[in-house]
A and B are shown apart, each in its own frame.
Chain A
Amino acid sequence: DAKTTQPPSMDCAEGRAANLPCNHSTISGNEYVYWYRQIHSQGPQYIIHGLKNNETNEMASLIITEDRKSSTLILPHATLRDTAVYYCIVSWDSGAGSYQLTFGKGTKLSVIP
């Protein structure tokens, strides 16, 4: 399974864009990049996922490099409620058409007033 590397922590000023990087240099051609976040000790919340193309939804944008070895999650206007641990995950094929997620330690994002 492809591993990911994320900085352990980042700060972002409220109202500014938060750019969270992730390296996944061993990603395979059919593996997706997922982003989840966990606020305090709540259940992880799905944010966005992508394969090759950049993706955008109501929560965030996902920028994947052309070689797919890294990606960036962008929260366009960070608020205090975006303070959380953000997990970058590469789904891996566990067989029988199932793709699993492996959670690392993530990046703790602190949004500062």
Chain B
Amino acid sequence: DADVTQTPRNRITKTGKRIMLECSQTKGHDRMYWYRQDPGLGLRLIYYSFDVKDINKGEISDGYSVSRQAQAKFSLSLESAIPNQTALYFCATSDSRRGRETQYFGPGTRLLVL
């Protein structure tokens, strides 16, 4: 089984809909991250969490919210989806006990907002 899983892998939604992307990990890592990637560009950080209930904004948090109710799960919500949120979304984890930010990524969720 994969260490970092994301559901769904693909999603099509309409403008104005609320959707949630889920991330689960079995690595036992305390830190989790959500990134988005637009075509031809690098990844941009949306939110990150150092532990349960800890939430920190990243570079592009507007229009998104997250929840970290358990160490193994980190969910990303789009409260009212808009077309420019069409992107590839990645979840990542890291272990603070290892000191540095070696992050391990999930397979991604491809989101299309019509």
A87 and B42 in contact, given A45-B105, A46-B103 (Cβ under 8 angstroms): yes
Please, which residue of chain B has its CB at the minimum distance from the CB of A92? B101
A-contacting 9-mer, from B43-51, B69-77, B78-86: B43-51
| B6 CB → nearest A CB, Å | 8
Main secondary structure of the interface of A (DSSP, over half): loop
Residues B42 and A43 in contact, CB atoms below 8 Å apart = no
| B34 CB → nearest A CB, Å | 12
* Bound form: Cα–Cα A87–B31 in Å: 21
Q: Chain B residues near A42 (CB, 8 Å)?
A: 107-108
Residues B101 and A98 in contact, CB atoms below 8 Å apart = yes
Q: Chain A residues near B104 (CB, 8 Å)?
A: 46
Residues A49 and B100 in contact, CB atoms below 8 Å apart = yes
Residues A100 and B96 in contact, CB atoms below 8 Å apart = no
Q: Chain B residues near A32 (CB, 8 Å)?
A: 100
Number of interface residues of A (CB under 8 A): 22
| B25 CB → nearest A CB, Å | 12
Contact among A41, A49, A100, A106 with B102 in the assembled complex (CB-CB below 8 Å): A49
Q: Which of B47-101 contact A (CB under 8 A)?
A: 48, 50, 59, 88, 90, 92, 96, 100-101
Q: With an 8 A cutoff between CB atoms, is A44 at the interface?
A: yes
Residues B100 and A97 in contact, CB atoms below 8 Å apart = no
Q: With an 8 A cutoff between CB atoms, is A91 at the interface?
A: yes
| B93 CB → nearest A CB, Å | 11
Please, which residue of chain A has its CB at the minimum distance from the CB of B88? A41
Binding site for B on A (CB under 8 A): 32, 34, 41-46, 49, 87, 91, 96-106
Q: Other than A43-B108, A103-B43, A104-B42, give 16 A-B pairs with Cβ distance below 8 A.
A: A41-B88, A42-B108, A49-B100, A91-B100, A96-B50, A98-B31, A98-B50, A100-B48, A100-B101, A101-B101, A101-B103, A102-B45, A102-B59, A103-B42, A105-B41, A105-B42
